[in-house]
Amino acid sequence: MKNLFYIFIGGGFGSVMRYLLSNYTQKWWNINYFPMGTFLVNIIGCFLIGFLTSYFAKNDYYLKYLLITGFCGGFTTFSAFSAENYSLWQNQHFGTLFIYVIMSVIAGFAAVFLGMKSPALLQ
């Protein structure tokens, strides 16, 4: 039951941070139709989940539930990514759609990889 509480708290905080970062990024950096806010949130989330997974790999701390399952789960958003792709498709912005999907997958994978390698650099 305690783990569910940590997930709940982390998820709420992650969701609020996602909203703030995504909203302000989109207002500040408006590149045509490219959903930069969600892109940035998802790449940062990929890095964080890679880093935290690697960092907590040998330990079963409550922080795994708070930060990985809760915060990263609330912070990143595949549903918004998918809805934005659908909107780009509907509005026939096929080039932007293609670039967004490819960049998200490649940058997301690279961010997880870098995050997994980062704790070793701190030692």
| Helix H or strand E encompassing 87 | helix 78-90
Q: Which amino acid is at 118?
A: S
pLDDT band at residue 35 under the 50/70/90 scheme: confident
Is residue 41 over pLDDT 90?
A: yes
Give buried/exposed letters for 50-83 (b at 16+ CB in 10 A, else e): bbbbbbbeeeeeebbbbbbbbbbbbbbbeebbee
Is 73 flagged in the annotation as binding? yes
Q: How many domains does the chain have?
A: 1
pLDDT band at residue 55 under the 50/70/90 scheme: confident
Does the pTM exceed 0.85? no
Rounded mean pLDDT of 2-30? 92
The CA distance from 111 to 116, in Å, is: 8
The CA distance from 69 to 75, in Å, is: 10
Output the average pLDDT for the chain. 90
Is residue 66 over pLDDT 90?
A: yes
Is 69 flagged in the annotation as binding? no
Tens-digit pLDDT profile for residues 70-120:
999 999 988 788 889 998 999 999 999 999 999 999 999 999 999 999 887
Rounded mean pLDDT of 39-50? 92
Enclosing domain of residue 79: 2-122
